[in-house]
Amino acid sequence: MKFKKIILMSLVLALLFACSDNKEFNKEDYRAEFDGYAKEFMTELKSVLQKNMKEGGPVKAVTVCSDTAQMLTQNFAEVENIEIKRVSFKNRNPNNIPDEFEGDVLYEFERLAANGNLKKDTTVIKKVREDGIDKIKFMKPIMVEAPCLLCHGQQTEIMPQAAEIIKNNYPYDKATGYKVGDLRGAISITKIM
């Protein structure tokens, strides 16, 4: 009786392994889901930014903005079990320096932008294996809009009080000098499969 059980268990396990081995990764099954996370993250961030700009101007927005981005990252990790963040070659916060994968995709976005082929809804999704772990990685560009210039534009466009706070909080800030329509960076999502 016990023997039969063991054989049955082995069969089930073998079948499970066979199935997972044969299961092809179809990125289109995941693209919409990840794009949903990206949109939710950016919408929440923008609404906090707008609310604080209205209530306390760029000075309040600067201080709140940084905490909000980090807090949202943490919330998504807990609720959706994904890592979501913003990355940029010209980063303000050193936490947002791209890793190798993110850097490659950012170069690709830059190349597309240079040829006029980068769209707001361009997305990249790939399955990668890192340290023996299968992960899905998703990236989407972030473009500069007019309100962003108050904190990311030319020195003359950045609000003086905001500039002061940025200088104090981010001594290695590289995220200025942008124009509307520039590629600012990307949203980056990683999920363990």
In whole angstroms, give the CA distance from residue 42 to residue 17: 38
- Residue 150 near residue 60 (C-beta atoms within 8 A): no
Site for ligand HEC in 118-147 (CB under 6 A): 142, 144-145, 147
Query: How many Å separate Cα 121 from the centre of its chain?
Result: 14
In whole angstroms, give the CA distance from residue 188 to residue 123: 10
Helices 28-79/160-169 angle, 10° precision: 80
3-class DSSP state for residue 30?
helix
Q: Does residue 183 touch ligand HEC according to CB under 6 A?
A: no
**Binding-site string for ligand HEC from residue 59 to residue 98, where x marks contact by CB under 6 A and - marks none:** --xx--xx--xx---------------x-x--xxx--x--
From the CB of 76, what's the least distance to ligand HEC, in Å? 14
Site for ligand HEC in 99-118 (CB under 6 A): none
Q: Which residues bind ligand HEC (CB under 6 A)?
A: 49, 58, 61-62, 65-66, 69-70, 86, 88, 91-93, 96, 142, 144-145, 147-148, 150-152, 162, 175, 184-185
